[in-house]
Amino acid sequence: MAKILIVEDEKAINDLVRFNLELVGHECVQTFDGGSGLEEAMRVKYDLIILDVMLPKLSGFEIMECIEGTPTIFVTAKTGAQDRIKGLRLGADDYITKPFNIIELVERVKAVLRRTKSDGEVFEFDDIRIEFHTRRVYKGGEKVALKPREFDLLEVLVNNRNLALSREKLLNLVWEYDYEGDIRTVDAHIQRLRQKLGISDRIQTVYKTGYRFEI
Ligand code: CA
């Protein structure tokens, strides 16, 4: 997957971001102040930088002015519109304010990578091949007909693999935030995915919560 640089001085947050991005298959490098963050960003070509604004030595904004062409998501406690505007003007691809939901961060990372990585992404496991750019799924080389929502659900599960996702979260991510649906819709779609792809053991039910795609 992607090579991601995390520049964040709060160790607990830095570790949380790293842990969750690595869980979904990314390779992460951690830095804890602006100076070493900038040095690392100049030294290696990253697919994405997760950049805090308030940092020792150099601010995230100052770093942003020095690096060009690397997709960046600002993560900051500053909630003022002025800061958001400044961040976006400097060319940030997205802006997240603390406290943030870690699954939302993982999803936004995915969205930015999808926009910025030109090559189509493919995910393979067992005898399954998922092509995200064409939205096609193959099992043992044969195409599996998935409905659009089934594919969306599979994509969310794969992109958040090894994380427990509540039914409400899945409903929000797959059926959009304003969908006034029933969480049983999620169960029905999970059942169909399990059947069509023969991956009952991969999509695990998390007791009283929801589901986890385990790999
Ligand atoms: Ca900070």
- The answer on pLDDT for 117 being more than 80 is no
User: What pLDDT is stored for residue 178 in this prediction?
Assistant: 55
Q: Which amino acid is at 188?
A: A
Cα of 101 from ligand 1 centre, angstroms: 17
Cα of 81 from ligand 1 centre, angstroms: 18
Helix, strand, or coil here: 76?
Answer: strand
- The answer on pLDDT for 118 being more than 90 is no
* Average pLDDT of the segment spanning 100-107: 92
- The answer on pLDDT for 98 being more than 60 is yes
Number of residues written out for the chain? 215
- The answer on pLDDT for 51 being more than 90 is yes
* Average pLDDT of the segment spanning 122-135: 88
Cα of 185 from ligand 1 centre, angstroms: 40
- The answer on pLDDT for 123 being more than 60 is yes
Of the listed ranges 131-135, 155-159, 207-211, the least confidently predicted one is 131-135
Spatial distance between the Cα atoms of 146 and 193, rounded to a whole number of angstroms = 8
Spatial distance between the Cα atoms of 129 and 144, rounded to a whole number of angstroms = 10
pTM comes to: 0.62
Cα of 87 from ligand 1 centre, angstroms: 15
Cα of 126 from ligand 1 centre, angstroms: 41
Which residues does 62 contact at the CB level (< 8 Å), separation at least 6? 34, 38
Whole-number mean pLDDT of the chain? 89
Residue indicated by tokens 């779609």: 189
Cα of 1 from ligand 1 centre, angstroms: 27
Model confidence pLDDT, tens digit, residues 2-11 = 899 999 999 9
Express as a percent the part of the chain with pLDDT over 70. 95
